[in-house]
């Protein structure tokens, strides 16, 4: 069982002003787990979720007939590089180092801020279409992604990315920018993002941890993704694994969100649980790059906080969290030779509530008083029939095309599978491709 410490990042709450105070939505007779409920959203919160409402429905509320739908929390993608949608299908089926040095890094070096903005818009469109309302983003420019988030109505935690290849002046500028950056909306929060223990010096890692503590913001980092990373870390740091090395430096805390966490020994798992860090399981990326498998069974038994992420499109090749859920569960079962490992309800919680909690967002549950994030899933598709168990069908059988409606912070971002402005994004991407 998980024991999830309460994390409250100041940033989330200081700026927690709804842009949507006036509007209300009533979803009637919708399936929630195994019962039919009425869902009333006022402003950006669930005013009431109940079999029968006890409060009056405000005049002018938008009414949705929920009879053909189930309502579930949307996905919270806890590790992503959104602008990498531009690299979809650009380089596949290569070894990690060849892939990075010969294809990905040279391509990324040519990307402008406008390109990153466009790639982020495509990513957000793809995420909304597959039921995701939040992503934790790491990329070398954050402002273009932040702008896309603010415009398109989703939530994100966008990090200021730092790495040893930057000179001292650039790093000083980035830390200063991080302190002075105040996102325009409560949907957007900031983080510090040292790339990894193998690409950041001890002092850069410690400086990042200090700013994370001082500003009370998350620290996003890649940890123990490949066997080679672990071997080199042990060679360079007195036999310490990446997790032990980070702990030795005093970097680990409940603010740390560590992607991958594939190659861990028993002591690493113990430390991850003890420090309360969030480990992000990225099964598709880890399989595609042949990195390995996160020891999910061992970690969940130890009480580690675990959430789910897609990683970037260059190594996935999509941002579909529903697909990620199925892969996560199946891979955990294969790894442990235990068919009872990571059952559907636990997998769904990993992709929804655990992700929201990891970033201090008061959402991830369809419950009175929570922030109003939700998706409506069609129940009439063959893959959803018969309806013995909604969660089983949703995790193992459905495609994300069954997600009909997406609501974030009390605002409808997709209805009948249409997202405002989607044709313009498609056209912009086609034009961009003609130039590249």
From 426, 320, 432, 364, select the one nearest 80 (Cα to Cα): 320
Pull the structure tokens for residue 411.
């605002």
Give the residue with the Cβ less far from Zn ion, 84 or 366.
84
Shortest spacing between CB 44 and Zn ion, in angstroms: 30
Pull the structure tokens for residue 124.
């957000």
Shortest spacing between CB 281 and Zn ion, in angstroms: 12
- Residue 137 found at the interface with Zn ion (CB under 5 A): no
Shortest spacing between CB 272 and Zn ion, in angstroms: 18
Contact window for Zn ion (CB under 5 A) among 84-92, 161-169, 307-315, 327-335 = 307-315
- Residue 311 found at the interface with Zn ion (CB under 5 A): yes
Shortest spacing between CB 171 and Zn ion, in angstroms: 20
Q: What is the radius of gyration, based on Cα positions, of the chain? A: 21
Give the residue with the Cβ less far from Zn ion, 108 or 311.
311
Contact window for Zn ion (CB under 5 A) among 53-61, 119-127, 288-296, 311-319 = 311-319
From 146, 81, 144, select the one nearest 313 (Cα to Cα): 81
- Residue 11 found at the interface with Zn ion (CB under 5 A): no
- Residue 229 found at the interface with Zn ion (CB under 5 A): no
Pull the structure tokens for residue 160.
């200021």
- Residue 357 found at the interface with Zn ion (CB under 5 A): no
Shortest spacing between CB 257 and Zn ion, in angstroms: 11
Give the residue with the Cβ less far from Zn ion, 82 or 329.
82
Pull the structure tokens for residue 316.
């996935």
366 to each of 38, 134, 186, 350, 392, how far by Cα in Å? 11, 16, 20, 15, 18
d(C-alpha 115, C-alpha 97), whole Å: 24
Contact window for Zn ion (CB under 5 A) among 112-120, 129-137, 183-191, 308-316 = 308-316
Give the residue with the Cβ less far from Zn ion, 311 or 365.
311
Backbone angles phi, psi at 396, to 5 degrees: -100, -25
Q: Are strands 374-378 and 132-139 parallel, antiparallel or unpaired?
A: unpaired
Give the residue with the Cβ less far from Zn ion, 155 or 260.
260
By three-state DSSP, how is residue 86 classified? helix
Q: Which residue is closest to Zn ion by CB?
A: 311
Shortest spacing between CB 282 and Zn ion, in angstroms: 7
Shortest spacing between CB 78 and Zn ion, in angstroms: 11
Tell me the site size for Zn ion, rule CB under 5 A. 1
Q: Are strands 69-72 and 374-378 parallel, antiparallel or unpaired?
A: antiparallel
Give the residue with the Cβ less far from Zn ion, 311 or 409.
311
Are 291 and 96 in contact, with CB atoms under 8 Å apart?
yes
Pull the structure tokens for residue 16.
């927690």
* Footprint on this chain of Zn ion (rule: CB under 5 A): 311
């Amino acid at each position: 069982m998980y024991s999830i410490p309460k994390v409250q990042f100041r940033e989330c709450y200081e700026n927690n002003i709804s842009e949507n105070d006036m509007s209300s939505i009533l979803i009637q007779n919708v399936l929630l787990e195994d019962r039919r409920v009425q869902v009333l959203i006022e402003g950006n919160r669930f005013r009431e979720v109940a079999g029968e409402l006890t409060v009056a429905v405000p005049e002018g509320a938008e009414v949705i007939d929920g009879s053909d739908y189930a309502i579930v929390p949307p996905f919270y993608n806890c590790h992503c590089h959104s602008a990498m949608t531009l690299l979809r299908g650009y380089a596949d089926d290569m070894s990690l180092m060849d892939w990075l040095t010969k294809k990905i890094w040279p391509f990324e070096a040519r990307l402008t801020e406008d390109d990153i903005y466009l790639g982020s818009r495509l990513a957000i469109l793809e995420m909304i279409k597959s039921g995701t309302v939040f992503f934790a983003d790491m990329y070398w420019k954050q402002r273009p992604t932040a702008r896309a988030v603010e415009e398109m109505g989703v939530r994100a935690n966008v990090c200021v990315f730092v790495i040893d290849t930057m000179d001292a002046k650039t790093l000083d500028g980035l830390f200063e920018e991080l302190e002075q950056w105040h996102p325009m909306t409560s949907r957007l929060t900031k983080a510090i993002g040292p790339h990894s223990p193998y690409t950041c010096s001890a002092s850069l890692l410690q400086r990042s941890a200090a700013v994370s503590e001082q500003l009370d913001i998350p620290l996003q980092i890649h940890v123990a993704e490949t066997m080679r990373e672990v071997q080199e870390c042990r060679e360079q740091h007195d036999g310490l694994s990446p997790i032990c090395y980070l702990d030795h430096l005093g970097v680990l805390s409940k603010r740390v969100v560590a992607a991958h966490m594939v190659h861990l020994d028993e002591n690493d798992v113990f430390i991850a649980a003890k420090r309360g860090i969030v480990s992000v399981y990225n099964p598709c990326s880890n399989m595609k790059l042949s990195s390995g498998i996160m020891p999910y069974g061992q970690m969940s038994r130890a009480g580690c906080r675990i959430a789910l992420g897609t990683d970037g499109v260059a190594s996935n090749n999509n941002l579909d969290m529903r697909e990620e859920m199925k892969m996560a569960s199946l891979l955990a079962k294969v790894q442990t030779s235990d068919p009872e490992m990571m059952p559907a309800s636990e997998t769904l919680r990993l992709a929804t509530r655990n992700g929201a909690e990891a970033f201090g967002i008061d959402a991830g549950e369809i419950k009175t008083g929570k922030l109003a994030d939700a998706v409506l899933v069609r129940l009439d598709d063959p893959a959803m029939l018969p309806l013995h168990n909604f969660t089983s069908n949703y995790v193992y059988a459905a495609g994300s095309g069954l997600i009909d409606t997406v609501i974030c912070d009390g605002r409808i971002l997709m209805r009948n599978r249409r997202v405002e402005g989607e044709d313009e994004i498609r056209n912009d991407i086609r034009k961009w491709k003609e130039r590249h």
